[in-house]
Amino acid sequence: MKILVTGGAGFIGANLVHSLLEDGHVVGNLDKLTYAANPDIEALFPPSERYVLYQTDLADYEAVRQIFTQFEPDAVMHLAAESHVDRSIDRPGEFIQTNITGTFNLLTIALAYWQALPPERKESFRFHHISTDEVFGSLGEAGLFHEKTPYDPHSPYSASKAASDHLVRAWKTTYGLPALVSNCSNNYGPYQFPEKLIPLMIVRGLSEDSLPVYGDGLNVRDWLYVEDHVSALKCVLRNGKVGESYNVGGNSERTNIEIVQTICDLLDDLAPPQKVSRRRELIQYVTDRPGHDRRYAIDATKIRRELDWRPVETFETGLKKTLLWYLDHQVWWKNILETRYAGERLGSVAKIG
Ligand code: NAD
Ligand code: DAU
């Protein structure tokens, strides 16, 4: 297939592009290359007969339209987004621009492109929108997010993703665009930008800097290794039913403090600390994230039952792989810390900066 991936230079996108190329697909990667893009993307995926990078902003309607004309995709997998909750607290405007207006542009262009396709290609075309479990809001001690859980987003990030999900569904219902949506829980693994909890704790832990845990550390997230998310995305694109949405998760709920303590202990084994006796001593409880959702947990029964998808990694195996990857790729993340983001606290004040 010729697959146009948006956000293919980001964390999940780069893992997806790698896997699609391995499967033999032709991939167009539409990415603005923001701060969050993998700085090695051009070396990682050199241009070839089966791969092209389009450095383009979703806001640039005409440029995106031309990419559709040139590349002629059989499917679109839409991952491009501003993705970090803390940054959305500081600067929500970019989230509205990319996640809502950018998705609107993409949908408008994809619809016109799809309407002009010959019947056979029109029948098989798919628009797959990649979204998050954060659109469902926050759970109490019990319960899980189902596909039918009402939307209740709380952060500017999740509100912008919820808006984009609604737009995609409206384009299916109103105009017939063959769209599917998937909503996934927290990912972790290779190439995750070190602003997110797991890589931030790894890189700060390796440098033996303080490890900031928001609030009481008892917020719960449901973790999935990125390659398992990639396999779910391919499964939804291949076998998902048009108009449906699929929740994706690894059934791996953990409190934040459990995660940070586990990373400390694993790092102590792999790279014994020099400045402290145990890295757990570096943990610091800091002011909570404004509007911090308490608990996320996914019920992935539908994708398991209907599409026969299952994760391969447990949280323990996935985390070990991730730690080893960051240990082996110190040049990659040190370059990011030096040039793009030094690991400072983001989004701590509910005030637009
Ligand atoms: P990321 O921040 O690592 O990457 C986002 C990519 O989008 C970057 O390469 C960036 O350059 C690109 N981008 C941003 N704005 C753009 C624009 N205006 N035009 C074109 N490209 C632009 O994000 P990620 O963690 O890989 O997440 C990818 C998608 O998956 C997002 O839509 C996110 O909402 C969703 N998601 C993420 C997670 C997670 O845990 N990371 C979980 C569920 C869903
Ligand atoms: O649930 C899916 C979502 O997961 C995705 O849609 C988002 O794109 C992705 O960023 C992620 O959002 P979270 O807000 O859950 O991830 P983050 O890594 O920012 O934080 C995870 C938890 O850790 C959260 O409860 C806040 C907490 N935290 C985070 C950081 C960065 C800390 O305690 N300390 C920190 O320094």
pLDDT, tens only, 201-212: 999 999 999 999
Ligand that lies nearest to the alpha carbon of residue 347, given by its number in the listed order: 2
What per-residue confidence (pLDDT) applies to 112? Answer: 98
* Residue 351 pLDDT: 84
Q: Write down the catalytic residue from 31, 57, 82, 134.
A: 134
Cα 134 to Cα 277: distance, rounded to the nearest angstrom = 37
Q: What's the pLDDT tens digit per position in 153-189?
A: 999 999 999 999 999 999 999 999 999 999 999 999 9
Residue 186 Cβ < 6 Å to ligand 1:
yes
pLDDT of residue 352: 85
Longest dimension (CA), the chain: 67
Q: What number of other Cβ atoms are within 10 A of residue 235's Cβ?
A: 19
What is the predicted pLDDT for the residue at 319?
A: 98
* Ligand 1 pocket test target in 4, 5, 12 with most atoms within 8 Å of CB: 12
Q: What DSSP designation does 288 have?
A: P
For the segment 51-90, what is each residue's pLDDT rounded down to a tens digit?
A: 999 999 999 999 999 999 999 999 999 999 999 999 999 9
Could you tell me if the CB of 98 is within 6 A of ligand 1?
yes
Distance CA 220, CA 296 (A): 6
- Identify whether 22 is a catalytic site residue: no
Closest CA to 193 of 185, 203, 208: 203
Whole-model pTM over 0.95:
yes
- Ligand 1 contacts CB of residue 32 (under 6 A): yes
Which residue among 54, 157, 191, 326 is the active-site one? 157
Site residues for ligand 2, CB cut-off 6 Å: 83-85, 132-134, 185-186, 196-197, 200, 212-214, 219, 221, 256, 289, 296
| Domains annotated on the chain, with CATH | 2-188+224-251+292-313 (3.40.50.720)
State the Cα–Cα distance between residues 261 and 319, nearest whole angstrom.
12
pLDDT score recorded for residue 21 = 98
CA pair distance 175, 44, nearest whole angstrom: 38
338 flagged as catalytic: no
Whole-angstrom distance, CA of residue 61 vs CA of residue 84? 24
Question: Which residue's CA is the closest to the ligand 2 atom numbered 31?
Answer: 197
Ligand 1 pocket: which of 34, 87, 228 to mutate (most atoms within 8 A of CB)? 34
Low-confidence ranges of the chain (pLDDT < 50): none
**Nearest-angstrom CA–CA distance, 320 and 197:** 15
In 207-343, alpha helices (H)? 226-239, 256-270, 301-307, 315-328, 330-339
What does residue 248 show for φ and ψ, rounded to 5 degrees?
-125, 125
C-alpha 224 chain-centroid distance: 11
CB neighbourhood size of 19 (10 A): 17
Place of tokens 């459990």: 258
Query: φ and ψ at 46, to 5 degrees?
Result: -70, 155
Q: Is residue 157 annotated as part of the catalytic site, yes or no? A: yes
150-to-47, 133, 138, 145 alpha-carbon distances in Å = 43, 11, 11, 9
For 35-38, the CB contacts below 8 A with 24+ separation are 35/193, 35/340, 35/341, 36/10, 36/11, 36/82, 36/83, 36/84, 36/193, 37/9, 37/10, 38/9, 38/10, 38/11, 38/14, 38/191
Look at residues 68, 66, 87, 88 and name the one whose alpha carbon lies nearest to residue 78: 68
Contacts of 12 (CB under 8 A, 6+ apart): 79, 130, 187, 226, 229, 230
